[in-house]
Structure 1
């Protein structure tokens, strides 16, 4: 089983790139699957909500 391929910063960069272009193009560029993009998007949203609650 592989470990983490991308850091949190890289995932955020990939997600922001997916907002500006198509998700399909980003998936091809980084060789990732579409569900990974959507799962990562949910994780980042939850992290930002948790961070806002703490501050």
Structure 2
């Protein structure tokens, strides 16, 4: 019987691409570009979906 691999918990906001680098358009004195690294606010840069939080409903 085939074994099924568990589904990866990939963040739905960033699709697993948790950090991006954005150029500002400026350059350093050595000629390289000035960049900013921005992490996904939902998964905090991990790329994994946060754990599900269940609310207890009823009595």
Q: TM-score range by the shorter chain?
A: under 0.3
User: Counting helix residues as a fraction of each chain, which structure ranks higher?
Assistant: 1
Higher RCO, Cα 8 Å, sep 6+ = 2
Relative to the length of structure 2, the TM-score reads: 0.22
* Structure of greater Rg: 2
TM-score (norm 1): 0.23
User: Which structure has the highest strand share of the two?
Assistant: 2
